[in-house]
Amino acid sequence: MGEFTTTIEHRLDQAYRGLREARSTGDEYLADTLTAEIEDLRRLADDHGIALPG
């Protein structure tokens, strides 16, 4: 696994954790921001042929 793949996976992990926390505290702005970040990271991974779990 390359460094790029590792970085994408790490950033996604952080974003998903942050999203769960934002939703649990009712911070809709942060949840929306993290959702957009997750979508961007998943698109970036797809553009580079990185397979991610569902």
Question: pLDDT truncated to tens, each residue of the chain (54 aa)?
Answer: 699 999 999 999 999 999 999 999 999 999 999 999 999 999 999 999 999 987
Q: Is residue 7 included in any domain, yes or no?
A: yes
The helix or strand, by DSSP H or E, that contains position 9, with its residue range, turns out to be helix 3-25
Range of the domain at 33: 3-47
Q: Is residue 52 included in any domain, yes or no?
A: no
Q: Is residue 53 included in any domain, yes or no?
A: no
Q: How far apart are the first and last CA of the chain?
A: 18
Q: Is residue 54 included in any domain, yes or no?
A: no
Q: What is the pLDDT of residue 30?
A: 98
For helices 3-25 and 28-47, the axis angle rounded to 10 degrees is 160
- Write the single-letter amino acid at 15: A
pTM of the model: 0.90
What is the total count of domains within the chain? 1
